[in-house]
Amino acid sequence: MKARALAGWGALLGAAAVGLAALAAPAAYRWDLPKGIAPPPVPADNPMTAAKVELGHRLFYDADLSIDGTLACAGCHGQHRAFSESNATHPGVRGAAGRRNVMTLSNVGYYGVLTWGDPGLKTLEAQVLVPTTGEHPIEMGMKGQEAELARRLGADACYRKMFAAAFPGRKGAIGMDTVALALAAFERTLVSFRSDYDRQALSEPARRGEHLFFGPRFACASCHTAPLFTDAGAADPLVAFHRIEPANGSDRGLAEITRKPEDAGRFRTPSLRNVALSPPYLHDGSAKTLPDAIRRHEQAGAMTEAEMDDLVAFLGGLTDRAFVTDPRFALPRTRCGKRL
């Protein structure tokens, strides 16, 4: 077990080597990570700086990123639910129907593939455009509204200062591209490795559940791979897409992108970090509880009730209370030094 976990950390350390060059930039963001945890990889063209993370933090909570000012990133990604929410799917602006369940953002900076169904979407910078300007479904409704976004943000003197500090090489340009860079930088700071599992402080039932989880009988860890508890960190993005049930007609998952019939019903493995805080489950939010979600996996058919209880206890041991109460990730209470 320990060897398997260490192998996982090794992969993270390797990934972090990419980020080390970026960390050498002036005014770099100072990571505050548990011992032995490396920061996520950082793209060379979007180095982490404290000013950029601070800007991204504010933007994450700003509903002016939606057409009618009602929906911020945090409107779906609530911190107390590990940056997810309680609805099966979340409607977009003006009542637009939601389509898929909101994933948590725990450790999202370590993932090589980011959404339920698109293996080509590999960077947080690119992913920002999905909720902001996407139309399938409409979420924040900003397609074609880039000038309006710049007008709104540019009207705020504090934002002008923050963009200038975050993007001195671009003369503080305010636009969808710099918004995306800042949001991605903030999202990379959403690191969650302080659970009972990480601190080796699992309860006895959770320890029994841990053995079931990593054991060959149920093989949960073959897809929910530690330490991320998803295989979305693998080098090959297609590795992370699996089918646990036959495809249904309304959402064909990976096949919508690849156009291959055999990919119908395949969805990216969600991380189980903080999973107890993020019901409902599965790509459509159709499983209301953890046992509901577990029973939807074929290999859980022979699981006893006692084993289910232990497995659920283990999954609860992946909850990182420090992560969901960390003020660095919470709704900002000040703006340019002024209390709100």
Partner 1 sequence: MRGVAVTIAAIALALVPAIGAAQEAPASTAACTAMDKTLPPELAAWTAQTPLAAAASAAGLRKASLTLGKAVTADLPQTPQVHFVTQPEKPGGTVSHGGMFELNIDKAGTYVVALGSGAWIDVLKDGKPLMSTAHARGPACLTLRKMVDFSLQPGRYVLQVSANAEARLPILLARRP
End-to-end Cα, the chain, rounded Å: 48
- The answer, yes or no, to whether the previous bond of 43 is cis (omega within 30 of 0) is no
Which of 94, 199, 211, 260 forms a contact with partner 1 (CB under 8 A)? Answer: 94
Helix runs in the chain, H state only: 2-23, 50-60, 73-76, 124-127, 129-133, 146-154, 157-166, 176-188, 204-214, 255-258, 290-295, 305-316, 321-325
Residue closer to partner 1 by CB (options 145, 195) is 145
- Amino acid identity of residue 65, one-letter, is L
Token pair for 299: 């290999």
Q: Note whether 97 binds partner 1 by CB under 8 A.
A: yes
Within 23-62, the residues that bind partner 1 by CB under 8 A are: 61-62
Q: Is 150 in the site for partner 1 (CB under 8 A)?
A: no
Distance CA(235)–CA(181), nearest Å, equals: 23
Shortest Å distance, C-beta 286 to partner 1: 16
- Binding flag, residue 321, partner 1 (CB under 8 A): no
CB of 191 to partner 1, least distance (A): 22
What contacts 287, CB < 8 A, 6 or more positions away?
279, 280, 281, 293, 296
According to CB under 8 A, which one of 19, 39, 41, 75 is a site residue for partner 1? Answer: 75
Judged by CB under 8 A, the number of residues near partner 1 is 32
CB of 336 to partner 1, least distance (A): 15
- Contacting partner 1 within 156-195 (CB under 8 A): 156
Q: Is residue 135 part of the contact set for partner 1 (CB under 8 A)?
A: no
Other C-beta atoms within 10 Å of 11: how many? 18
Interface residues with partner 1 (CB under 8 A) are 61-66, 68-72, 74-75, 78, 80-81, 85-87, 90-91, 93-95, 97-98, 152, 155-156, 331, 333, 340
